[in-house]
Homo-oligomer: A and B are copies of this chain.
């Protein structure tokens, strides 16, 4: 792990790690150049010598967090690829849960090193399966996008809550709000208000991930020998051109309507 000490020579790494500490402690709003320069015992210009601006600093801090999530993963050989994909996803989920400010910034798939490495890892696991190479791109990015975006959403919700309240408190509070709604206009929401109490974001994330993986598997069995049901992530047409194209035509029209309101 790179140095976090404030004294001595400054470097990009030192600045980024100091930023991460401030972000963890005070959230995104808490990262100011005033606090940062105090922590590093230097001037603003010194920081700007190592990073272009605050945006770049937060982006690098985010990529660093992704890096620690990947570094914490052991190869665990012997287990199948799907299990390891799930473990990889959970490692990222849990790491971002500890750095809730980072999740919304995990968007630079195509540029940041550790973020690209994450996609590389997912792809490497897919390559171990019987998935045909032609579908590697679509499936890997589907998993990547689900993983990063749902994690960001959950983490954002977590960080939006008041610092004092626990998640359980918050959910119970919200469940009461749901139950108090007008059943006429919100028949569904009022009906499931009770279920909100024992809701768990992490379980939800896992469920959705499993649905994605199951969806991939089921499209196999639909088009191939049913006896091969155990085959993981094999071929199968994933999109439904007809419906999708129709819907797209609809929406392109709607897009115009909205834009020209």
Which residues of A line the B interface, CB within 8 A? 1, 68, 72, 83, 86-87, 90-91, 93-95, 97-98, 104, 107-111, 116-117, 119-120, 123-124, 126-127, 133, 136-138, 140-142, 145-146, 148-150, 152-154, 156-157, 160, 174, 177-178, 181, 185-189, 191-192, 195-196, 199, 202-204, 206-208, 210-219, 221, 238-240, 243-244, 247-248, 250-251, 254-255, 257-259, 261
Contacts and interface: CB of A to CB of B under 8 A. Distances in A.
B137 A192 contact: yes
A174 B110 contact: yes
Contacts of A207: 138, 142, 238-239
B142 A208 contact: yes
A94 B215 contact: no
| Secondary structure call for the A interface | helix
B157 A150 contact: no
A255 B123 contact: no
Contacts of A212: 208, 211-212, 215
Given A126-B188, A137-B195, A208-B212, 8 more contacts: A86-B243, A94-B254, A94-B255, A98-B259, A107-B160, A120-B186, A138-B195, A202-B248
A186 B116 contact: yes
Contact of A192 (B123, B177, B181): B123
B203 A141 contact: no
B107 A156 contact: yes
A258 B95 contact: yes
Contacts of A116: 181, 186, 189
A156 B240 contact: no
Contacts of A244: 203, 206, 210
A239 B104 contact: no
Contacts of A153: 107, 145, 148-149, 152
